[in-house]
């Protein structure tokens, strides 16, 4: 298990991470939202109560990597985390499709990659570890236009992770495997925002990456 | 893993089980509520997607074993489950304390035990398996009056399980262990309704009992 | 133009037709909902004001052909229409996917076809004309499971129309053509419930079928 | 068809144009409101999907030409449109009648004409085309005081259009023709804010002016 | 002054009379609604406090004379009034225009006249007096279709009053006079439901008919 | 009749005057609130439509003469009225009783009188006339403490009016007379805020003072 | 102290007693409302915790003795109380004043007295004791009409109590004494529904009558 | 009785004191909240009406002694009280348990004691008297961690009171005695926020300390 007693883990991203968290991103009840961060915290606390891991949810709905960069200091660095996870990129791709006519909202693959790289570089020196999770589109057909584009952004995440030596979680691959048994629209009606089963899949993928044992 | 492909699992109980489920107790989104049943379903679907387990939440807030008996045919038997779990008894005990002056609302240990026995006996012939979960009070001090009484009801559950040969999950023991590391009022402000970490504890305890592998 | 002065047109179906109509399905303001029926009425009244066509919306959200049959006499025949349109079948298919584990909600292709046939046969003698509109799934990939199944139900509609000699509108084909230029999720986030552009597409397809001239 | 591939069309005006649009005036769902702008967009997208016309609704309820001028740069010029439509003047006239005792709210014919002229002159150099739509009062009796005054303002629109060589749509004449078949209060209870049929009439009149073919 | 000490006056009609009364139609605060009945009561009580007139509002929004007849016994006769006023007919006419295509909702002039006659005949023997108020349409142009039809119904009221010898109030004539000085849409945006000034006009017309002195 | 064609009348005061007016204090519908100002306007418009009197409600709930002074320029003088009415003083007295222990909220008789005098003096030069209405407490027993104190403030109003030569309306005397026939708590449950009959009494008293003829 | 260990005390009456109780009239939180019953329970429980008195609130807003009689069996006798308190009569008197013109709502002194007598007679045999509390009107002037009438009803309560030998609490006298120091409208704006200080006065008067020691 | 005629008493603290008071902390109705301050005021006013004690509630939910200090001048000193009571400390302790991982929110025993001392020292010179009430945890088991820590903070209060010579109320001891007869979770579900019986216990303890006689 890579996380150690008392470690502070900040998990950032977009609406998948946010999941209706409260502004503090920690505290009693639904403070960490109802998504995978809540589940990660619940699994860590119930299985490793003695480790006292401190999980904070800093996901924000609608974010691309551009907005994430804008709030990085305040939301991540200032909290002095031991571990940081990032799950960003779905909106970077999606805006090309659902706001097709508003190019100022589109984040190019280049901007995506370089910004992500910058966030990792600026953070690594002060933390014990980072986890990058790829964006995904729960659509098995890799020729589908948004899936095809998403795969390029997911590849960029893997490249950045490899280059900087941080952990990487291939969420797209996890969802592809699940979708062999469960119809993709059952996991997420819009193929993006998963039901609790999909969130648990993300939580498990993250935990497996940091060496969690059930 | 005791649950088999396509098995239908009905989970019943009180508000801990209910957790704001919709009346159907199954379906998309928050249909199974936000408690341990939701987590059990999410873990089964994400880890064993090929098994296609069919989880239905039939918990009802405020229930004692008396009300549970009243709706047993409609809510449990009529759904023709393969597996049934029961988590009942907290209200049976609590009513002695929070409605102290209204004895008609109190369920005696004797009524509790015999009714539970009756439910199990009437169900066993038509199912593959049953799981009884003990009631609990997240209070480490065993002399505390409600904890002391709860222990008696929990023992009755174990007795019924032993006698009828069904699986039993000792939730009190799980919470006692967790409370060695986490302050009990952090797990549940009223020491009864757990936060997500407590619900995950229940989910894991249930899943371990049926042979789930992470 | 096939519709004649004073003709009463009853349009039935599921949520695509319903589109938040009021119970009467006619009257001032948003009485006919905000979907294609509203647009059909608006186009008929503004382009052919002298014809005084009487449009009534009898769509009901969530309907399969099974529920449609149950309310056919009250909602359609009793209103003594001159023309009747039917747009049903999406839910008949969808329930196989989003309520996969509840087979009692699935309408088989056979039940779908025969019920539709029955509705047409029971209505034709008393009306001037009928229009059947195919169900659709706004997904260009014909191998996609729900699209593949939808195509079978759409074919059944064409078969019934051909056999009984009523007008047929191939909505799937219209959406396929639109999706060559507009990303399918822009037309309908869930690929089923269209935005106003998709509703206008349906309205135009219907009007073209009855000989409307702009 | 005068609109070309990728053209951006900004439609401005008062509550008839606004029709409950969102602040952005574009985007998914009801972003463009529920009036004629929504219908123009739906007809352009469904009939000419290959043209990819970019429609933005910048109508604001309650506006006279005075307020329209105040927000012209921000709401129109800054968006760099290829085409601009203006439908203003009803409130300029109406305030003389419904706020009779508050003359500071009245826009004189002279101010109306000169302001409109100014808006056109400042915009023409940077756009491909403009469309002016006359104000109207859906009252067939031309001696009725508000109708009589409205006719004067409508004439000013035609004069400005003729002088500057932009397209003009005579909405009053369209409504007069429709009202020969449909009782005027059925089109608009207050003879100003039309039902969907009246909005479709406006949409069609605009589209006919720019060469739309059904 | 025709009303005597302690007289009970029941005022009936449609939405003009109703004006959001409470079901009892009497009591403290806004019990009698915010229309002319409230004002009649306020003027009677403040100017003739010693008379102790008992005013009850039995108007019901949307009523034609047909619905009024249906509730006549319960709402009027059973209350054993000394005086009864009726202001009905606007909806009888309006339904021909705003629900043009639903003839079952139209009340013909003949049905209107004979029903009104019947209500008067059945009531006169048990009361001290009755007051019939004509329906109206606040539109000065007598050729306007709804005004023209309204005039026929108003004439029927005068005929019934003359024949049965009860008091009659010509509200149309009062509004025509007011509209010489105040723009008609200022009195009532839809030319039917008056602002407080129009309600006061009705109240005064009624009170003048029964001999009220300021 | 003292009010002349086109005169602007601003009526000020506390909650009795305010009566839920809109901020503008004029306009369609309930703009002038539901109290005596509304009734004054309705009576002036319906009985003297040719005079076109412009009534504005500038009452503000909770005001004493101290707050009234604070907003006098903005709310009264800046509107350039021809006539001004003032009905203030109830709260000046009441605060001595319902906020007995908070003397900073009490307005002394001396402050009341001198402030009122100041407001009249600063206004008279620029208007055609002013009307002062006395505060009141609808309690017949003149020894009752709040009534006794109110009488002193009412006397101050009469003194100021006499000294400055403006019109005065003795509302206390009007309510005393009404209360000989109507139980005082029926007119106003708290003996301050009147029902519609009490508001009409105020409206009539004001109108009589300015020479209104029914 | 007259109340003994475990005694059940049912307190009935009108809105003064009700004070927004929940239907059960007992239980946690605000179950007994926010009035004197709540305070009686709080004082008994905090000062005599060892007595375990069981207090139930069966007051119902708007009740006269007539409605109280109608629900006596269900609300009082069926609960098998040891002690019963009654505080009724304010509405019996008030309806003569606030619903002056609706005599069917008035409860005469005779009906009041005889009904009260009947309730006491039917209850006394099965209880340990009863407490009658007089109605009151917090108005020091005994000539005031409602106060004068209230005094007659209060006297009837004392007569019934004397005749049947039950305890009586003269609330009118308590409020008269308090009003020598506190302005009556401060205790109750409508002189009927007291603020918390007035409720405490009632609670204390009741408790003094049953021998409570602070 | 230590409180004298006209004395102003400011009661401060956390949510126990606050109890949903209005911002002013005084005035009619529920101005002082629904907790012990409301009861203290009600008992003082009903039992000692002639003393006219002026009670103000300045409790604020969530406060520790740190926030209390921050608002001491504005909320306490500026009101120039004769008497001040303080009931603070529960949150100072609780934050160590319910926000275990956020040490910046924890108030140490040392900070607690010294701040309290400072508040008392800065206030004593200008008041007639002060009352310090100990924090409490309604848990009879003194080994329970939060109870154990609370006892240390309660001791600090007693130390400060002894040193400065002000009155002290040992609320913990009062609740311990009550809990011998009433189950602790019945008094307060979370063992902190009491039901009305617990609030009355606090009110009585305070009043006894200042010499109140029932």
Residue G178, chain F, CB below 8 Å: the answer is no
Q: Do B102 and G26 touch (CB under 8 A)?
A: yes
G193 pLDDT band, cuts 50/70/90, is very high
Distance (Å) from the C-alpha of residue C139 to the closest C-alpha of chain A? 10
Contacts for G9 with CB less than 8 Å, ≥ 6 apart = G3, G40, G53, G54, G55, G56, G81, G82, G83, G84, G85
Residue from the list B97, B141, B183 with its beta carbon closest to the beta carbon of H185: B97
pLDDT at H52: 96
Interface test with G, best of B94, B101, B103 (most G CBs within 10 A): B101
- The answer to whether position A3 is within a domain reads no
Residue (of F53, F60, F59) closest to F81 by Cα position: F53
Give yes or no: F15 in active site: yes
Contacts for A123 with CB less than 8 Å, ≥ 6 apart = A72, A76, A77, A84, A130
Residue (of C47, C46, C70, C43) closest to C58 by Cα position: C70
- The answer to whether position F94 is within a domain reads yes
| CB < 8 Å to H101, chain A | 26, 52, 54
With contact defined as 3+ CB pairs under 8 Å, the chains touching A are B, C, D, H
Q: What is the pLDDT of residues D148-180, one digit of tens each?
A: 999 999 999 999 999 999 999 999 999 999 999
Q: Do G183 and F146 touch (CB under 8 A)?
A: yes
Report, as an integer, the average pLDDT of F3-13: 98
pLDDT at C7: 98
Interface test with D, best of A101, A103, A105 (most D CBs within 10 A): A101
Write down the mean pLDDT value for chain G.
97
G155 pLDDT band, cuts 50/70/90, is very high
Q: b/e map of A14-39 (b: 16 or more CB within 10 Å)?
A: bbbbbbebeeebbbeeebbbbbbbbb
Q: At D39, which helix (H) or strand (E)?
A: helix D36-47
Structure tokens belonging to residue E105: 């909702």
pLDDT at E32: 97
Write down the mean pLDDT value for chain C.
97
| Ranges of residues in chain A whose predicted pLDDT is under 70 | none
CB atoms within 10 A of CB H77: 16
For chain F, where are the alpha helices, taking DSSP H only?
15-18, 36-47, 65-70, 72-75, 90-98, 109-123, 145-164, 171-178, 184-187, 196-209
Overall number of domains in chain C: 1
Contacts for A117 with CB less than 8 Å, ≥ 6 apart = A160, A163, A164
Q: What is the pLDDT of residues D87-108, one digit of tens each?
A: 999 999 999 999 999 999 999 9
Rounded to whole angstroms, the Cα distance separating E94 from F50 reads 30
Q: CA of H79: which chain F residue's CA is closest?
A: F102
Contacts for B100 with CB less than 8 Å, ≥ 6 apart = H183, H186
pLDDT at D12: 98
Q: Are D168 and D131 in contact (CB under 8 A)?
A: yes
- The answer to whether position D2 is within a domain reads no
Write down the mean pLDDT value for chain D.
97
Tell the residue number behind the tokens 């707050």, with chain if given.
Answer: F67
Q: Do chains B and A touch (3 or more CB pairs under 8 A)?
A: yes
Structure tokens belonging to residue B97: 């304390």
CB contact residues (below 8 A), chain E span 2-61, against chain G: 26-28, 52, 54
Q: Are G164 and G117 in contact (CB under 8 A)?
A: yes
pLDDT at H64: 98
Q: At B146, which helix (H) or strand (E)?
A: helix B145-164
pLDDT at F139: 97
- The answer to whether position C37 is within a domain reads yes
- The answer to whether position C214 is within a domain reads no
Q: What is the pLDDT of residues G2-26, one digit of tens each?
A: 999 999 999 999 999 999 999 999 9
Interface test with D, best of C42, C55, C181 (most D CBs within 10 A): C42
Q: Which domain holds residue G191?
A: 8-209
pLDDT at F24: 93
Give yes or no: A54 in active site: no
Q: Do B185 and H141 touch (CB under 8 A)?
A: no
Residue E190, chain C, CB below 8 Å: the answer is no
pLDDT at E158: 98
Q: What is the pLDDT of residues F145-156, one digit of tens each?
A: 999 999 999 999
Q: What is the pLDDT of residues D14-40, one digit of tens each?
A: 999 999 999 999 988 899 999 999 999
Residue C98, chain B, CB below 8 Å: the answer is yes
Q: b/e map of G51-89 (b: 16 or more CB within 10 Å)?
A: bbbbbbbbbbbebbbeebbeebeebbbeeebbbbbbbbb
- The answer to whether position E74 is within a domain reads yes
Q: What is the mean pLDDT of each run of 10 residues along chain B (214 residues)?
A: 97 98 93 97 98 98 98 98 98 95 95 98 98 98 97 98 98 98 95 97 98 96
E202 pLDDT band, cuts 50/70/90, is very high
Distance (Å) from the C-alpha of residue A101 to the closest C-alpha of chain D? 7
D137 pLDDT band, cuts 50/70/90, is very high
Q: Do B28 and C98 touch (CB under 8 A)?
A: yes
Q: Do H99 and A54 touch (CB under 8 A)?
A: no
Question: Helix, strand, or coil here: E195?
Answer: coil
Rounded to whole angstroms, the Cα distance separating C199 from D51 reads 18
What distances in angstroms separate CA B77 from CA A143, B26, B66, B82, C102, one per listed residue? 47, 16, 16, 10, 16
Residue (of B40, B42, B36) closest to B14 by Cα position: B36
Q: What is the pLDDT of residues G91-109, one digit of tens each?
A: 999 999 999 999 999 999 9
- The answer to whether position F25 is within a domain reads yes
Q: What is the pLDDT of residues E115-145, one digit of tens each?
A: 999 999 999 999 999 999 999 999 999 999 9
| Ranges of residues in chain H whose predicted pLDDT is under 70 | none
Residue from the list G97, G144, G189 with its beta carbon closest to the beta carbon of F141: G144
Report, as an integer, the average pLDDT of E78-86: 98
Rounded to whole angstroms, the Cα distance separating C122 from E189 reads 48
Q: b/e map of C179-191 (b: 16 or more CB within 10 Å)?
A: beebebbbbbbeb
Q: What is the CATH number of the domain that holds H110?
A: 3.40.50.1110
Rounded to whole angstroms, the Cα distance separating B133 from B120 reads 13
Rounded to whole angstroms, the Cα distance separating A141 from A151 reads 11
Q: Do A102 and D26 touch (CB under 8 A)?
A: yes
F5 pLDDT band, cuts 50/70/90, is very high
Q: Do A189 and C190 touch (CB under 8 A)?
A: yes
pLDDT at E169: 98
Q: What is the phi-psi region of residue A211: left when phi exceeds 0, alpha when psi lies from -120 to 50, beta otherwise?
A: left
Q: CA of G54: which chain B residue's CA is closest?
A: B101
pLDDT at H137: 98
CB pairs below 8 Å between C and D: how many?
75
Residue (of H160, H167, H177) closest to H210 by Cα position: H167
Report, as an integer, the average pLDDT of F123-133: 98
Q: Do G185 and F100 touch (CB under 8 A)?
A: no
Starting at the edge strand found earlier in the chain, the sheet holding H8-13 runs H54-59, H8-13, H83-87, H129-133, H167-169
- The answer to whether position B1 is within a domain reads no
């Amino acid at each position: 298990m890579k996380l150690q007693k008392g470690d502070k883990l900040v998990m950032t991203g977009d609406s998948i991470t946010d999941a209706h968290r409260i502004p503090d991103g920690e505290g009693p009840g639904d403070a960490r939202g109802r998504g995978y961060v809540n589940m990660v915290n619940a699994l860590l606390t119930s299985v490793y109560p003695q480790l006292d891991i401190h999980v904070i949810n800093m996901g924000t709905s609608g974010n691309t990597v551009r907005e994430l960069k804008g709030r990085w200091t305040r939301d991540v660095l200032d909290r002095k985390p031991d571990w940081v996870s990032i799950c960003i990129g779905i909106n970077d791709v999606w805006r090309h499709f659902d706001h097709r006519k508003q190019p100022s909202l589109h984040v190019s693959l280049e901007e995506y990659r370089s910004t992500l790289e910058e966030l990792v570089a600026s953070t690594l020196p002060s933390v014990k570890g980072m986890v990058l999770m790829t964006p995904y589109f729960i659509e098995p057909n890799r020729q589908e236009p948004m899936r095809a584009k998403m795969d390029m952004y997911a590849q960029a995440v893997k490249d950045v992770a490899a280059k900087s030596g941080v952990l990487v979680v291939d969420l797209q691959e996890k969802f592809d495997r699940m979708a062999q048994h469960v119809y993709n629209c059952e996991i997420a009606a819009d193929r993006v925002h998963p039901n609790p089963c999909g969130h648990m899949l993300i939580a498990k993928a993250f935990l497996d990456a940091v060496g969690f044992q059930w």
